[in-house]
């Protein structure tokens, strides 16, 4: 009886052992992988619009185990990237046309290669703003700009001066005369660019240019300055346009102009100005010219002031404000001033008007 039980136990172990060598539904036949080919292969190009040239490339498809993206640009390890399904690669391109190659490897190790055209185009810079600091120190900013070129407009066949984003160029000195057209070209990093021209002025000021913003500002009730057609085109001044200065009613009696190009005493120290006074009551009142915003603050603002009496009414007269009487200790020979303030004679009643024209710097 014991022998029969032993024989049954041995047979049971053999059966169990034999059945454990093969799990139902799984065997060593992997031939089905040969029929799993990549399908619906494509890509997504996410191209930046800020002129950075950054492109995010995402391969897509079915039955793919891994991708290799060849960017069509760059060298060495920077020319390609290996990514898993669903994972993008990022590359920075200059503006241009490229061929992107994507190798898709399936589960069986078979690789399928596809190519896609890629065009990277930079947009033209926008919202270009030019800043002119004292002594003609130029800077600029713009959306989507990679760099700038600056043309001062004072020489023939000028080569633009390169300027980086955030950079201020060195001070520039203009010869007497003008106005000058300063041109700033905002570069995208590609073919697109945006040009902005700003007409710069200093002395002489004759109010004749249609492109110059003759920036004379005033403060106070009733105080005003504007450019008008010459209402008294007679005598020594028959120009087409002049400046009209209206006296305020609350004590204000000055107009100020921040000059794009500073007044340079290396070119002269006398300021002449044509004045038309329509009121006999203004005779013997004084006109003042005050120079401020000295480059380097030498002399301190407000030091350079000259006045001349109004001597005529009903006709133009030429006034000379002679700053050469200041010593070089007071005003060094090559001093530059960025602001000019003209004061209409103290004591002139509210609403009084004076006309000015052809403000020049001479020796």
Question: Domain check: are 228 and 329 in the same one?
Answer: yes
List, in order, residues 6 or more apart from 350 with CB less than 8 Å away: 222, 247, 248, 249
Q: Compute the mean pLDDT over every residue in the chain, rounded to the nearest whole number.
A: 89
Determine, yes or no, domain membership for 16: no
Q: Could you list the residue range(s) of the whole structural domain that residue 331 is in?
A: 216-362
C-alpha to C-alpha distance for 48 and 60, rounded to whole angstroms: 20
Q: What is the mean pLDDT of residues 155-169?
A: 97
Cβ atoms of 102 and 43 within 8 Å: the answer is: yes
Gap between the Cα atoms of 150 and 340, Å rounded: 26
Q: Judge whether 307 and 325 are in contact, CB under 8 Å.
A: no
Same domain, 178 and 82: no
C-alpha 261/C-alpha 137 separation (Å) is: 10
- Are 137 and 168 a contacting pair, CB within 8 Å? yes
Q: Above 60 in pLDDT, residue 24?
A: no
Q: Are strands 304-309 and 241-246 parallel, antiparallel or unpaired?
A: unpaired
The reply to whether 48 and 133 lie within a common domain is: no
Do residue 246 and residue 348 come from a single domain?
yes
Least Cα distance to 277 among 305, 317, 304, 333 occurs for 317
Asked if residue 1 belongs to a domain, the reply is: no
Q: Do residue 280 and residue 323 come from a single domain?
A: yes
Q: Which CATH number belongs to the domain containing residue 75 in this structure?
A: 2.60.40.10
Yes or no: say if 341 and 252 are a contact pair by the CB < 8 Å rule: no
pLDDT at 183 over 80: yes
23: exposed, middle or buried (C-beta count within 10 Å: 0-12, 13-18, 19+)? exposed
What's the pLDDT tens digit per position in 79-122?
999 999 999 999 999 999 999 999 999 989 999 999 999 999 99
Residue 163 main-chain phi, psi, to 5 deg: -145, 125
Q: In total, how many domains does the chain have?
A: 3
Query: How many residues are present in the chain?
Result: 363
Residue 30 inside a domain? The answer is: no
DSSP string, 5-23: HHHHHHHHHHHHHHHTTS-
| Same structural domain, 341 and 266 | yes
Q: Say if residue 168 is in the same domain as residue 236.
A: no
Q: Indicate the residue among 200, 233, 262 that finishes a domain.
A: 200
- Considering the domain boundaries, does residue 231 fall inside one? yes
Instruction: Supply the pLDDT for residue 35.
Output: 55
Are 103 and 153 part of one and the same domain?
A: no
Q: Are 179 and 294 in the same domain?
A: no
CA dihedral 257, 262, 267, 270 (to 10 degrees): 30
Q: How far apart are CA 236 and CA 273, in angstroms?
A: 12
pLDDT in the model for residue 296 = 85
45 lies in the same domain as 94:
yes
Cis peptide bond upstream of 184, omega within 30:
no
User: By mean pLDDT, which of 74-78, 191-195, 213-217, 309-313 is the weakest?
Assistant: 213-217
pTM of the model: 0.79
pLDDT tens digits for 315-362?
999 999 999 999 988 888 889 999 999 998 777 888 889 999 999 999
Strand extents, DSSP E, 121-232: 126-133, 137-143, 147-151, 161-164, 180-187, 193-200, 216-218, 224-229
* 15 assigned to some structural domain: no
Range 251-265 average pLDDT:
89
Do 169 and 280 fall into the same domain? no
Is the backbone peptide bond immediately before 204 cis, with ω within 30 degrees of 0?
Answer: yes
Of 100, 120, 140, which closes a domain? 120
Instruction: Indicate if 287 and 306 belong to the same structural domain.
Output: yes
Domain end point (choices 68, 100, 120): 120
Nearest-angstrom CA–CA distance, 145 and 188: 5
Hey, is 306 helix, strand or coil? strand
Q: Does 224 score more than 70 pLDDT?
A: yes
């Amino acid at each position: 009886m014991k022998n029969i039980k032993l024989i049954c136990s041995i047979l049971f172990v053999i059966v169990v052992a034999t059945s454990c060598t093969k799990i139902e539904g799984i065997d060593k036949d992997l031939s089905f992988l040969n029929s799993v080919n990549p399908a619906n292969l494509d890509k997504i190009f996410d191209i930046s619009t800020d002129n950075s040239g950054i492109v995010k490339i995402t391969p897509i498809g079915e039955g793919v185990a891994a991708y290799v993206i060849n960017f069509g640009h760059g060298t060495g390890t920077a020319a390609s990237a290996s990514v898993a399904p669903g994972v993008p690669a990022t590359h920075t391109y200059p503006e241009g046309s490229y061929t992107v190659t994507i190798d898709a490897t399936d589960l069986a190790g078979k690789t399928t290669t596809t190519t896609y055209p890629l065009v990277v185009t930079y947009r033209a810079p926008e919202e270009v703003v030019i800043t002119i600091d004292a002594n003609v120190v130029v800077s600029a900013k713009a959306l989507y700009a990679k760099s700038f070129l600056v043309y001062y407009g004072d020489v023939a066949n000028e080569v633009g001066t390169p300027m980086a984003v955030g950079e201020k160029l060195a001070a520039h000195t203009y010869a007497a005369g003008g106005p000058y057209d300063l041109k700033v070209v905002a570069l995208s990093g590609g073919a697109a660019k945006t040009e902005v021209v700003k007409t710069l002025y200093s002395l002489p000021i004759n109010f004749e240019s249609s492109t110059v913003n003759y920036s004379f500002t005033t403060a106070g009730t009733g105080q005003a300055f504007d450019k008008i057609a010459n209402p008294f085109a007679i005598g020594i001044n028959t120009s087409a346009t002049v400046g009209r200065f209206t006296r305020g009613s609350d004590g204000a009696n000055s107009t100020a102009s921040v000059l794009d190009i500073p007044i340079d005493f290396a070119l002269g120290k006398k300021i002449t100005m044509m004045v038309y006074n329509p009121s006999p009551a203004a005779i013997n009142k004084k006109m003042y010219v005050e120079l401020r915003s000295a480059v380097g603050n030498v002399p301190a603002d407000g030091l350079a002031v000259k006045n001349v009496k109004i001597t005529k009414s009903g006709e133009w007269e030429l006034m000379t404000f002679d700053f050469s009487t200041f010593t070089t200790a007071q005003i060094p020979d090559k001093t530059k001033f960025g602001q000019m303030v003209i004061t209409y004679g103290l004591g002139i009643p509210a609403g009084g008007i004076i006309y000015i024209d052809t403000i020049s710097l001479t020796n």
